[in-house]
Amino acid sequence: MNTVTITLADRQLRELAERADAEGREPEGFAAEAVAAVLRQRAAEVRQAGAAYAEAHAELLRRLGE
């Protein structure tokens, strides 16, 4: 595992600690899960954009592949 340091406002840090505590977790684990969720969402958006691009340009891509 690697370590990343982020800067949070006092309110954000307090909310993170409170949310993690409410779920019986460590703040670091909660933050790591949030980062993983954002990365999954961004990857899905890229896949969706790629699929839309391929669909919009299917004929050109087919001709280039000949």
pLDDT per residue as tens digits for the range 18-38? 999 999 999 999 999 999 999
Confidence class for position 62, pLDDT limits 50, 70, 90: confident
5 found inside a domain: no
CB-hemisphere CA count at 13 Å for 52?
Answer: 6
Residue 2 placed within a domain: no
- What is the number of domains present in the chain? 1
The DSSP result for the chain, as a single string, is ---------HHHHHHHHHHHHHTT--HHHHHHHHHHHHHHHHHHHHHHHHHHHHHHTHHHHHHHT-
Domain containing 24 equals 10-64
Residue 40 lies in a domain: yes
